[in-house]
Amino acid sequence: MKNVNGGTVTSPQGFLAGATSASIKTKGGLDLGILCSESPCVAVGMFTINKVKAAPVVWSQGRVAAGKAQAIVVNAGCANACTGEPGLEDAAEMAKLAAKKLKLKAADVLVASTGVIGQRLPMERIAAGLKDISLSIDGGHELAKAIMTTDTFPKEIAVAASDGSFTIGGIAKGAGMIHPNMGTMLAFLTTDASVDRALLDKALRQAVDVSFNMVTIDGDTSPNDTVVVLANGKAGKVAAGSKSAKEFQAALTEVCTYLARCIARDGEGATKLIEVKVEKALSLADARAAARTIVGSPLVKAAVHGCDPNWGRIIAAVGRSGCEFDGAKIDLFLNDICVVRGGVAHYFDKKEVSLLMSGTEVSVQVSLNLGEWQATAWGCDLSAEYVSMNAEYST
Amino acid sequence: MKNVNGGTVTSPQGFLAGATSASIKTKGGLDLGILCSESPCVAVGMFTINKVKAAPVVWSQGRVAAGKAQAIVVNAGCANACTGEPGLEDAAEMAKLAAKKLKLKAADVLVASTGVIGQRLPMERIAAGLKDISLSIDGGHELAKAIMTTDTFPKEIAVAASDGSFTIGGIAKGAGMIHPNMGTMLAFLTTDASVDRALLDKALRQAVDVSFNMVTIDGDTSPNDTVVVLANGKAGKVAAGSKSAKEFQAALTEVCTYLARCIARDGEGATKLIEVKVEKALSLADARAAARTIVGSPLVKAAVHGCDPNWGRIIAAVGRSGCEFDGAKIDLFLNDICVVRGGVAHYFDKKEVSLLMSGTEVSVQVSLNLGEWQATAWGCDLSAEYVSMNAEYST
């Protein structure tokens, strides 16, 4: 497996993308885009588990259920969520307009939206905007920008098999309202591998489980979350159980993990990426719960923001996570410096650790010393800017 | 039932309290206190469900298991949590020192601590401080101040039975790390009612369930949370099933609810109290889950801080709360103005609602229109000050 230099969602063979500014975002900029394949694709997806599902999610879940699709039309600035029956019609109309442009059927087009909840889509501007979009094999970068809301940088990557037999590309957006089990997060993944639906579905679930589902920004989940993979089969065959299937899984997990870390690093108002690794847990569920509870704790996030090695908050988060643990066995490391050994304070130089925490990545490592399971979760610090951004979002 | 003017934890007959400054809090001020009864009390309590239990909680749980106690010694500034075996010895020593002063046995004295986790108690300063404390029937106010950490005002109340047959008093502290199932929250309740242990225990559980357990500040729970009631029997008899038992329950719930609302209003960095009422839910559990999820959502809290009627975040919070709901039936009111009817936007004047939200109390009312159950939860807005306070707490 190797990284593709400047790789993005259009790096795999046969994928095109483009974007335009349709004045949907109030602050302007690219906000409407299309991703499409030259030929029909196997399609699998995972969607929000929030019981409030935005209209585009309802539409796309229906299409993905058929296991195939050829394009995705997406907008930022308006989530088309809590818009009732008219919202469902708007999503269908958006698919139809994109299909007309691409000479496809509406049923081949997935729809995604992100932005403010409760407002109708400006359908006239969307119709006009879609006409403006020109598609190209370099269009992935523009599309990565068009799906941004409060994101501060586009998130994109591509990796290729060592023997060049396939490539996987991806773009994502995140920033706020992110939580395990899909926050307002969109991720579009493409591959030219020839892979069947069952294998692709299993590979996606496995990759999402250790990547996007281990990111938390603020504990809120959005009605719009969507992760989709389109596989057009233009390149090498990946058969279940083969060596290439192993590499495909590793590559897909790599792409998802990279994008997940980007989302965490770019959490609203974030100044630092927090990586929490919980080791030697009695079960995988325990390790995951503890890692996610720590990285989601507002008090831990605020302490990290202030470069404060306030480890008591980390232990308290483990204590309420529901995981099995023995307070007298726990070890804790901050940026590789041991601060707790056997559940009690271990001497450390506060200034030194605080200095280490002042960088752009803070690592928290908890060893429960009970079993063999481990998990890693990602998040970001909590800053005053998070509050000001979210106090003024809809107005 | 009637409010006692200027009432506090020493308003019921036969209770004394006092406090002193023992230099445990780095910022100075009262930080060590005693509450005691002239005669032995029936004692019941509820403690943190965090698996990390602070040493004073371990001590006090052991004492309350016996169903009786006569005094409480408490300090702020150091939580005596994650301090291992030495911490347990310190808690026992603190009880012993207080018992010596009060001419009681150590087993009659409960211990509570609040403050930074992971540091040992300064036992010499505590021993010296305890000698300084003078107890009086007016000492409740001082004690309410001594248990404050990041609290900005003392929380105290007393109510009496209509016929004057008994009085219930209480003090509490909260501010940060507060979440349903007990955050860093201490509440000491007293009554001169003559009430048996079973009745007192049941009454406390019922009162806490609809008050303290419905408050959330930041989703974190602390290893130190403690709610204790001491009943010394100096006044009227309250027998199970009697009319006075009903009034006793109502009075205890009133005291707990008042203190819970004070804790929410005084959340770290808070500028507003948020009251969320969820109505017409299919079950009580649903109503409680939805109300607590809404009031705990950082995005809702930030929107309220900015007086932004961003109702989509409220609906999204209901959607992820796990409660049964039908998106097409939900109605939503902000400060009594309908903003969502049947799941979709209902016309409202944004400026008017924003102005209403600019006060010190914001009410959110959600009607699920599915059943007959309701619940109320309390929290506060999320401000930039919350972040700055918690970025610098331990250093």
| CA neighbor of A331 nearest in space, from A323, A319, A322, A339 | A339
pLDDT above 90 (res B391): no
- Are A225 and A332 part of one and the same domain? no
What is the rounded radius of gyration, in angstroms, for the C-alpha atoms of chain A? 21
Distance CA A197, CA A203 (A): 10
The number of CA neighbours under 13 Å toward the Cβ of B215 is 30
Interface of A with B in 96-155 (CB under 8 A): 116-119
Mutate which: B221, B295, B313, vs A, most A CBs within 10 A: B313
Inter-residue contact A193 to A168 (CB < 8 Å): yes
| Residue where a domain terminates, one of B246, B264, B282 | B264
pLDDT tens for each residue of A273-332: 999 999 999 999 999 999 999 998 888 998 999 999 989 889 989 988 999 999 889 999
- Are B301 and B380 part of one and the same domain? yes
Interface of B with A in 339-368 (CB under 8 A): 340, 342-345, 350, 354
The pLDDT value recorded for residue A181 is: 41
- Are A251 and A374 part of one and the same domain? no
* Rounded (10°) angle between helices A298-305 and A284-296: 60
Angle at the Cα of A25 (from A395 to A23), degrees rounded to 5?
Answer: 125
pLDDT over 90 for what percent of chain B? 74
- Confirm whether A216 is a catalytic residue: no
Distance CA A316, CA B306 (A): 30
Interface of A with B in 35-54 (CB under 8 A): 49-52
Contact B220 A384 (CB under 8 A): no
Question: Which listed residue (A20, A83, A184, A253) is catalytic?
Answer: A184
Q: Which residues of B are catalytic?
A: 184
Token pair recorded at residue B364: 């959110």
Give contacts of B395 with chain A, Cβ < 8 Å: 306, 308, 310, 350, 354
pLDDT tens for each residue of A242-282: 999 999 999 999 999 999 999 988 887 889 999 999 999 99
B28 Cβ neighbours under 8 A, 6+ residues apart: B21
Distance CA B141, CA B144 (A): 5
Inter-residue contact B186 to B79 (CB < 8 Å): no
pLDDT above 80 (res B223): no
Inter-residue contact A25 to A145 (CB < 8 Å): no
- Are A7 and A50 part of one and the same domain? yes
- Are A180 and A38 part of one and the same domain? yes
pLDDT tens for each residue of B193-220: 999 999 999 999 999 999 998 987 665 5
Contact A117 B52 (CB under 8 A): no
Angle at the Cα of B172 (from B171 to B178), degrees rounded to 5?
Answer: 170
Q: What's the domain count of chain A?
A: 2
CB atoms within 10 A of CB A41: 27
pLDDT tens for each residue of A37-86: 999 999 999 998 888 889 999 999 999 999 999 999 999 999 998 899 99
Q: How confident is the model at residue A182 (pLDDT cuts 50, 70, 90)?
A: very low
Q: Does residue B218 belong to any structural domain of this protein?
A: yes
B315 touches chain A (CB under 8 A): yes
CATH of residue B288's domain is 3.10.20.340
Q: Quote the domain boundaries for residue B178.
A: 2-264
- Are A128 and A235 part of one and the same domain? yes
Interface of B with A in 177-206 (CB under 8 A): 177, 179
CATH of residue B139's domain is 3.60.70.12
Distance from CA of B292 to the nearest CA of A (A): 13
pLDDT tens for each residue of B78-89: 999 889 999 999
Work out whether the CA dihedral A250, A253, A257, A259 comes out positive or negative.
positive
What is the rounded radius of gyration, in angstroms, for the C-alpha atoms of chain B? 21
A272 CB-contact burial (10 Å; exposed 0-12 / middle 13-18 / buried 19+)? buried
- Are B295 and B386 part of one and the same domain? yes
DSSP 8-state assignment for residue B4: P
Q: Does residue B395 belong to any structural domain of this protein?
A: no
Report the DSSP pairing between strands B226-231 and B186-191: parallel
pLDDT above 50 (res A34): yes
Contact A51 B384 (CB under 8 A): no
Token pair recorded at residue B167: 């009085």
Contact A327 B79 (CB under 8 A): no
| CA neighbor of B193 nearest in space, from B144, B147, B159 | B159
- Are A301 and A196 part of one and the same domain? no
Provide the whole-model pTM: 0.82
| Residue where a domain terminates, one of A203, A235, A265 | A265
- Are A249 and A316 part of one and the same domain? no
B88 touches chain A (CB under 8 A): no
Q: Does residue B83 belong to any structural domain of this protein?
A: yes
A176 touches chain B (CB under 8 A): yes
**Nearest by CB to A319, which of B179, B223, B309?**
B223
The pLDDT value recorded for residue A39 is: 97
Q: How confident is the model at residue A180 (pLDDT cuts 50, 70, 90)?
A: very low
pLDDT above 70 (res B221): no
Distance CA B195, CA B184 (A): 28
Angle at the Cα of A391 (from A388 to A392), degrees rounded to 5?
Answer: 95
Helix (H, G, I), strand (E, B) or coil at A244: helix
pLDDT tens for each residue of A192-242: 999 999 999 999 999 999 999 898 766 556 678 899 999 999 999 999 999
Write the DSSP assignment of B72-136 as a string of letters. Answer: EEEEEEE---S-HHHHHHHHHHHHHHHHHHHTS-GGGEEEEEEEETT----HHHHHHHHHH---B
pLDDT tens for each residue of B300-312: 998 999 999 989 8
- Are A91 and A229 part of one and the same domain? yes
- Are B185 and B282 part of one and the same domain? no
Distance CA B173, CA B264 (A): 10
Which ranges constitute the DSSP H helices of chain B? 55-64, 84-102, 123-132, 140-146, 197-209, 243-265, 284-296, 298-305, 311-320, 350-356, 384-390
| CA neighbor of B393 nearest in space, from B116, B192, B167 | B116
| Residue where a domain terminates, one of A216, A232, A265 | A265
Distance CA A268, CA A220 (A): 13
Token pair recorded at residue B74: 């408490």
- Are B239 and B112 part of one and the same domain? yes
What does the longest C-alpha to C-alpha distance in chain B come to? 68
| CA neighbor of B36 nearest in space, from B188, B145, B202, B262 | B188
Inter-residue contact B331 to B370 (CB < 8 Å): no
